[in-house]
Amino acid sequence: MSRFLTTIPNNSGFYNFGTIEAYPTGGTGPTAYGPTSYYGSDPLPANTGDSLNNPVDLGTFPSIFRSIPIKNTHGGLSRKQTTFYKLKLPGARAVQFTQDYSQFSYEKNTNKNTLLAFYRITEDKLREELPINDEGYVYTESAIDYLDESVISGVESEYPTTNLAAGDYLFLITNDIRYLETTYSITLNINLLDWGKVIDEVDASILFEFVTDVVTDALDFENV
């Protein structure tokens, strides 16, 4: 589902490529916007998620468990190659992506030609790409220290399931074969897997000693 991207894809269908030749009369024609432009074509309006500077904001994830299905169409005459998303983690969370469509189907609804890349936004606003393992979990490091004895001895797997630190993150979903229009569906799962948090202080509680109502009925499970 993912791979390291040497360059972040751009939606070149929204870029001004200058004038084109007007067929069949010759001379300069209208302005071309992307590789699927033709004589008389119009530029598509800008939408949220078109670029790094205008990603879709998924908000903050304070809850322990939350899933967001992401479904969209890209490629072909849509001129859409990549959609950008951003999110904020208020605390340590495990981030996992799951496939809702087949990765091998040749139908219109498929994730076959869909790539996903995930980035951490550092304090100086730089983007550090993070790997995604076969189970869909995002790992905290993009490289493994070969001197790390725990990895060498096999105590830890190369890309273990782990929590990401609090901070800002960015991910993109891109069409690997942009001239083929398909519909993808991927679910973003953000969970708190550290059950050690159960020892934290209680935020709210209920004192049942103040319940004074009389029991109206009872169920004897011994006779069920």
Q: How far apart are CA 207 and CA 18, in angstroms?
A: 72
Residues 92-107 have pLDDT tens digits of 889 999 999 988 888 8
Q: Is residue 224 part of a domain?
A: no
Q: How far apart are CA 122 and CA 82, in angstroms?
A: 22
User: What is the SS3 assignment for 86?
Assistant: strand
Q: Is residue 28 part of a domain?
A: no
Residues 123-149 have pLDDT tens digits of 888 888 888 888 888 888 766 655 555
CA atoms 182, 98, 186, 121: torsion sign: negative
Q: Is residue 144 part of a domain?
A: yes
Question: Does 40 score more than 60 pLDDT?
Answer: no
Q: Is residue 163 part of a domain?
A: yes
Q: Is residue 109 part of a domain?
A: yes
Q: How far apart are CA 78 and CA 156, in angstroms?
A: 44
Question: Does 1 score more than 70 pLDDT?
Answer: no
Q: Is residue 210 part of a domain?
A: no
- Across the range 177-187, mean pLDDT stands at 86
Q: How far apart are CA 115 and CA 127, in angstroms?
A: 18
Q: Provide the pLDDT for residue 3.
A: 61
Domain count, the chain: 1
Q: What is the pTM assigned to this prediction?
A: 0.69
User: How much of the chain is in helix, strand and coil states, percent to nearest 5?
Assistant: 10, 35, 60
Average pLDDT along the chain:
75
Reference 120, options 145, 92, 140; nearest CA is: 140
Q: Is residue 111 part of a domain?
A: yes
- Across the range 198-224, mean pLDDT stands at 66
Q: Is residue 14 part of a domain?
A: no
Q: Provide the pLDDT for residue 32.
A: 53
Q: Provide the pLDDT for residue 134.
A: 80
CA dihedral 74, 79, 82, 86 (to 10 degrees): -100
Q: Quick one: what percent of the chain has pLDDT higher than 90?
A: 20
Q: Residue 137 is part of a domain; what is its CATH number?
A: 2.60.120
Domain enclosing residue 95, as ranges: 46-195
